[in-house]
């Protein structure tokens, strides 16, 4: 069973930018209610897209440089990376179908 992995400033390049498959990075914080609302959906998608998309989580409070680098101004914010570059983003608590539409474009 695949689950989102926690990524930090120290391993972001290795795990996200150098990934051989697309990566969806969830920028979140523990105090963020909408972030907690979408977490079960992201867990479910991680299982369904196992081997096709890597799901990662970045705590914005612990990794402020990544938040600045990717212009995270509101959370939850999910950024989809392909070939090491951000190609799409989803801001806010959206439904599973919206995530799937965005993922289908990169898989």
Q: Is 82 a catalytic residue?
A: no
Burial grade of 58 (CB within 10 A; 0-12, 13-18, 19 or more): buried
Query: Which residue out of 7, 23, 25, 32 is catalytically annotated?
Result: 32
Query: Which residue out of 23, 24, 35, 42 is catalytically annotated?
Result: 35
The span from the CA of 82 to the CA of 71, in Å, is 18
Cis peptide before 89 (omega within 30 of 0): no
Q: Is 35 a catalytic residue?
A: yes
The set of catalytic residues is 32, 35
């Amino acid at each position: 069973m695949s689950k989102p992995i926690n990524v930090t400033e120290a391993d972001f390049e290795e795990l996200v930018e150098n990934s051989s498959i697309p990566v969806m990075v969830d920028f979140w914080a523990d105090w963020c209610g909408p972030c907690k609302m979408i977490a079960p959906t992201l867990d479910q998608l991680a299982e369904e897209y196992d081997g096709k998309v890597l799901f990662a989580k970045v705590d914005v409070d612990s990794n402020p440089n990544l938040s600045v680098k990717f212009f995270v101004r509101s959370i939850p914010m999910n950024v989809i990376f392909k070939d090491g570059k951000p190609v799409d983003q989803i801001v806010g608590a959206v439904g599973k179908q919206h995530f799937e539409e965005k993922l289908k474009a990169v898989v």
